[in-house]
Amino acid sequence: MRRLFWFGAGIAAGVALTRKVNETARKATPTGMAEQVGGAMREIAGAVGSFGADVRSGMQEREDQLQDVVVNADQVRRVAAEHDAERRARRAGR
């Protein structure tokens, strides 16, 4: 029984090693290298696209923040001008 187990384990190890060697040999061929380079380029293109989307999203968020600041500043100026006008009117009425 032991011999049968070790025989089966040896066959399984041989098959796994043969597949690994064949895969490595295929990657070393020009076609395999082209596939690897193509895959890397697709990955880089995806990363650049994702980065661009993040930048656009951040730009839009910042633009919204700045727009809020400008609108609030206009409102503050308007209230301050009204307050100054009321103060001048009170002083003139003394």
Distance CA 50, CA 58 (A): 12
Name the pLDDT band for 61 (thresholds 50, 70, 90). very high
| Cα–Cα distance, 42 to 40 (Å, whole number) | 5
Listed by start position, the domains of the chain span 2-92
Phi, psi (5° rounding) for residue 16? -60, -45
Alpha-carbon radius of gyration of the chain: 36
HSE at residue 61, side-chain half, CA atoms within 13 A, is 6
Distance of alpha carbon 45 from alpha carbon 37, whole angstroms = 12
Question: With bands split at pLDDT 50, 70 and 90, how would you rate the model's confidence at 94?
Answer: low
Percent pLDDT > 90 in the chain is 53
Specify the amino acid at residue 18. T
Residues 38-48 pLDDT 10s? 999 999 999 99
